[in-house]
A and B are shown apart, each in its own frame.
Chain A
Amino acid sequence: MRHNSSQLGYKVQSASIEGRGVKLEIARSTVLKPIGDDSSSHFRLVSSPAIKFEMTRKLGFAFLLLAAASICEAAAIFSPISEAHRSAALELFSPAAGTFSSLEEATEALRTFEVLGIEIESDLKDSTCKSAVDALSSGSPNSKDLYYALRVSSVLQCKISDGALTGVALRLKDFVKDAKSLLDFYYSIGGLVLIKDQTSEVDVLLDDADGIFRSVKDLSQSDGKWRYSSNNPESSTYAAGIALETLSGVITLKSSDIDGNLIDALKRDVVKLFDNIDKYDDGAYYFDDRFVDASGHQGPVSATSSVARGLTTLASTSGSLNIPGDKILGLARFFLGIGVPGTGKDLYYQIDALASLDQSRVLVPLILSLQASVLSISSQDKLKVKVTTVLGSTGPPLSVKLMQVFSSGSKDASIINQELKFDPKEAVHVLDALPVGVDVGEYVFAFEIVLSDPEHKKIYVTGGRTKVPVYVTGVVKVENSKVEVLESDSVETQQKLDLPGKNDVALTANHLQKLRLSFQLTTPLQNPFKPHQALLKLRHESGVEHSFVVNSGKLFETTLDFLGLVENFFYLSGKYDMELTVGDPAMENSFLQPLGHIELDLPDAPEKYGPKPEIAHIFRLQEKRPPQELSYAFLGLVFVPFLAFLVGLLRLGVNMKNFPTSMIPAAFAILFHGGIAAVLGLYGLFWLKLDLFTTLKTLGVLGLFLMFVGHRTLSHLASASAKVKSA
């Protein structure tokens, strides 16, 4: 997220607040290193300080700023150029071998040093001047080299003879005539303007200023961007900035008046360009070229810087431009919001743009910054506000009023409207006392800058109401702290604690009891306080730790029900050390205190991983069967009717008289009876072991046989009885 990174990129002086024997050190935030050699719109945090409430107790200021950025969209801290930029410039622009690698790099370095007021060693000065003079006197066919050489020599004030300059001017005029692309115009016209600044002896005026103006203006587009050449459709905002600079150069070098309509049209183009400006939530305005254009530039820093330079140059040559003040201020905020860039080029763009804005005839931005945005109630810090130009120099006389105070998270604010006292010695505006009701926590203060001289409103832009995040820290009192062992909600043991001092209580409890810890936190203004962290930690002698969050409400308390925690504690009985941690960024006396120890008696762990009981398969129980003797008895009984049948047959005088006596019928009769017996035997086998299919197959065979035999027998008997009848 961009506005987070803008905050995090800011390097803050460290502040240390002492109170109540606890020293809080607010660490320096880290420097952001942008990704990619040129500035890109993405910054990544190289290292972020984590918040630890351990022994060292270093608070990450970055966290405060992150939280601040998340409270309220428009609250942001912008600080003017500082020592950090100077040291970065020295680091980034130190030439490797005692000289700069190219005139372009030399230009960037020297311009940055010039704005920041850094002195250059005379050796380096001499060597750079020499290379510039060499470039000017050599017959270099490149207008770019001449341009950079001239820039270097103008910064370093190298001694070049007028004759040499005249020769250069003539060559540059030739370049102007032959120029085809925007960059050709830029270098050649820029060179001529530099020569004009250096000496008035050389003739640099252009003959056909109108025609040149028109040919450059033709490269413009309707959306305010500029193309690099007429046959290349690529356009960018960076090119627009260059074009504006070039055109203001043409206006400076004119020998006769340029058509006023053209200049008006140009001013309208600039207004159109500013209509398409991008904006961040914290009030920074910028231009972004999201692609690599013909000159290899990409990213918002170079594009915005080029436009800023172009705009201010145009304003200085052709009068005021109708650009709204908040956009100018937004450009300044964008550059200040970057912090300290990581590459030399970006630093140059930033510093150069800020310097142009500072001297512009459009509007000079004024920046409101806080000397320290963390105030401590206990050490009675006063809020100090500085209003300076972007480069850090003092602004015009003005007064600062605190208009509103928003507390974090809530939209409503208290209206204050209090004027801050101006301390001329330190050039800061001081708020004597914090407004009523400002307690420990995060706030957003809304200031308004009022210029003393109403005429200055045309020169300076202040931005109306500026919101800045402020942290108020203080000592939080811990009261009514006690730890108790409860036996089914009735207190068994109670020990009062002296927090945040040292404590050493000794308690015992078993798994049926509960442990309750309670305390109250009050701010210096007697309000209840809710810290960011409130943890109770129990550590077993074997090193196993358990942490519990202390619930907040009117009273801070936590109740540990050991019955439910037995499993979480892994059934470890023994001595547990208790530690309480209470911490918050706004709390100056955050503490991590051992409270003592508690002897816990927990039941034994059940055997979880032994072999499980063996499962024996239970077969289906047999149905209850009658006793065997009974069954045998009835078996015998069943045969009784059969025997009775046989006896009855004998009694009836059954005989075999009808049995055929002659051979063949007798055989058939025997076979008939045999067949029936066989079928019955087959049924018996079927019951005992055969299945239906074999039975049926055999039955079919037997049946056929039986039918044949039976038919023969019975028909024989029938004929025999018919003979008897007829006889």
Chain B
Amino acid sequence: MVKPATTKDDAHALFYSLRSAYSATPTNLKIIDLYVVFAVFTALIQVAYMAIVGSFPFNSFLSGVLSCVGTAVLAVCLRIQVNKENKEFKDLPPERAFADFVLCNLVLHLVIMNFLG
């Protein structure tokens, strides 16, 4: 007897296909994705901390969260620009994109450090 296709099976199938497709992406993009995930997790941990102890030095909380979020955003921008399949940025050398990423991060972190208090 053939088992009817359950939602669970569909989810499994979707997950596996996604995983296999993802493994095809170039390594540098995976590094960037990993970096983004790391930043987001750090932000989540900070939010959880604030939820527990209260938002007393609110500026510190904001700067912490915003640094994570900002760096994640910049990393996403870098990924877009570096991705070879992206036709829009074909002519942009990845080194240039990386230089932009570094510069923007430095500016972001200066602001964050000032706001950290």
**B102 lies within 8 A of chain A by Cβ:** yes
Q: What separation, in Å, do the CA atoms of A715 and B98 have in the docked complex?
A: 11
Q: What separation, in Å, do the CA atoms of A648 and B32 have in the docked complex?
A: 11
Q: Encode contact with A along B94-117: 1 for CB under 8 Å, 0 otherwise.
A: 111011001000100110011010
Q: What separation, in Å, do the CA atoms of A373 and B87 have in the docked complex?
A: 133
Q: What separation, in Å, do the CA atoms of A652 and B41 have in the docked complex?
A: 19
For the complex formed, measure the closest distance between the CB of A45 and the CB atoms of chain B, giving whole angstroms.
Answer: 85
Closest residue to A687 on the B side, CB-wise? Answer: B113
B116 touches A687 (CB 8 A): yes
**A344 lies within 8 A of chain B by Cβ:** no
Within 8 A of B (CB), among A39-61: none
Q: Encode contact with A along B20-48: 1 for CB under 8 Å, 0 otherwise.
A: 00000001001100110111011001101
**B4 lies within 8 A of chain A by Cβ:** no
B93 touches A630 (CB 8 A): no
B110 touches A683 (CB 8 A): yes
Q: Encode contact with B along A685-716: 1 for CB under 8 Å, 0 otherwise.
A: 01100001001000100010000001100110
Which residues of A lie under 8 Å from residue B54 when comparing CB positions?
Answer: 624, 626
For the complex formed, measure the closest distance between the CB of B55 and the CB atoms of chain A, giving whole angstroms.
Answer: 10
Which residues of A lie under 8 Å from residue B95 when comparing CB positions?
Answer: 714-715, 717-718, 721
A649 touches B34 (CB 8 A): yes
A625 touches B56 (CB 8 A): yes
A648 touches B42 (CB 8 A): no
Number of interface residues of B (CB under 8 A): 31
Which residues of B lie under 8 Å from residue A634 when comparing CB positions?
Answer: 45, 48-49
Which residues of A lie under 8 Å from residue B30 when comparing CB positions?
Answer: 652
Which residues of A lie under 8 Å from residue B109 when comparing CB positions?
Answer: 680, 683
Which residues of A lie under 8 Å from residue B42 when comparing CB positions?
Answer: 638, 641-642
B98 touches A714 (CB 8 A): yes
B102 touches A710 (CB 8 A): yes
B113 touches A626 (CB 8 A): no
**B53 lies within 8 A of chain A by Cβ:** yes
A652 touches B114 (CB 8 A): no
User: A683-B110, A687-B113 given as contacts; is B41 within 8 A of A644 (CB)?
Assistant: yes
For the complex formed, measure the closest distance between the CB of A626 and the CB atoms of chain B, giving whole angstroms.
Answer: 4
**A727 lies within 8 A of chain B by Cβ:** no
Q: What separation, in Å, do the CA atoms of A676 and B106 have in the docked complex?
A: 8
For the complex formed, measure the closest distance between the CB of B35 and the CB atoms of chain A, giving whole angstroms.
Answer: 7
**A505 lies within 8 A of chain B by Cβ:** no
**B1 lies within 8 A of chain A by Cβ:** no
User: A623-B56, A645-B38 given as contacts; is B27 within 8 A of A692 (CB)?
Assistant: no
A648 touches B56 (CB 8 A): no
**B18 lies within 8 A of chain A by Cβ:** no
Q: Encode contact with B along A638-669: 1 for CB under 8 Å, 0 otherwise.
A: 10111011001100111000000000000000
**Which one of B37, B39, B93 has the highest number of Cβ atoms from chain A below 10 Å of its Cβ?**
B93
User: A625-B56, A714-B98 given as contacts; is B38 within 8 A of A644 (CB)?
Assistant: yes
For the complex formed, measure the closest distance between the CB of A401 and the CB atoms of chain B, giving whole angstroms.
Answer: 106
A630 touches B34 (CB 8 A): no
Q: Encode contact with B along A615-639: 1 for CB under 8 Å, 0 otherwise.
A: 0000000011110001100100110
Q: What separation, in Å, do the CA atoms of A680 and B41 have in the docked complex?
A: 21
**A679 lies within 8 A of chain B by Cβ:** yes
B106 touches A679 (CB 8 A): yes
Interface residue from A625, A648, A686, A714 paired with B99 (Cβ < 8 Å): A714
User: A653-B27, A692-B114, A710-B99 given as contacts; is B56 within 8 A of A638 (CB)?
Assistant: no
User: A638-B45, A641-B42, A676-B102 given as contacts; is B113 within 8 A of A683 (CB)?
Assistant: yes
Closest residue to B116 on the A side, CB-wise? Answer: A687
Which residues of A lie under 8 Å from residue B45 when comparing CB positions?
Answer: 634, 637-638, 640-641
B110 touches A638 (CB 8 A): no
User: A641-B41, A714-B99 given as contacts; is B53 within 8 A of A686 (CB)?
Assistant: no
Q: What separation, in Å, do the CA atoms of A687 and B111 have in the docked complex?
A: 11
Which residues of B lie under 8 Å from residue A703 when comparing CB positions?
Answer: 106
For the complex formed, measure the closest distance between the CB of A667 and the CB atoms of chain B, giving whole angstroms.
Answer: 18
Which residues of A lie under 8 Å from residue B39 when comparing CB positions?
Answer: 641
Which residues of A lie under 8 Å from residue B102 when comparing CB positions?
Answer: 676, 710
**B2 lies within 8 A of chain A by Cβ:** no
**B52 lies within 8 A of chain A by Cβ:** yes
Q: What separation, in Å, do the CA atoms of A438 and B42 have in the docked complex?
A: 112
Which A residues contact B (CB, under 8 angstroms)?
A: 623-626, 630-631, 634, 637-638, 640-642, 644-645, 648-649, 652-654, 676, 679-680, 683-684, 686-687, 692, 695, 699, 703, 710-711, 714-715, 717-718, 721
Nearest 9 A/B pairs, CB to CB: A626-B53, A645-B38, A641-B41, A714-B95, A718-B95, A683-B113, A648-B34, A634-B49, A641-B38
24 of the cross-chain contacts (CB-CB < 8 Å) are: A624-B54, A626-B54, A631-B53, A637-B45, A638-B45, A641-B41, A644-B41, A648-B38, A649-B31, A649-B34, A652-B27, A654-B27, A676-B106, A680-B109, A683-B113, A684-B113, A686-B114, A695-B110, A699-B110, A710-B102, A714-B99, A718-B95, A718-B96, A721-B95
Q: A640-B41, A686-B110, A710-B102 are in contact. List 16 more A-B contacts (CB 8 A).
A: A624-B54, A637-B49, A638-B45, A641-B37, A642-B42, A644-B41, A645-B37, A648-B34, A652-B30, A654-B27, A676-B102, A680-B109, A687-B116, A714-B95, A714-B99, A718-B95
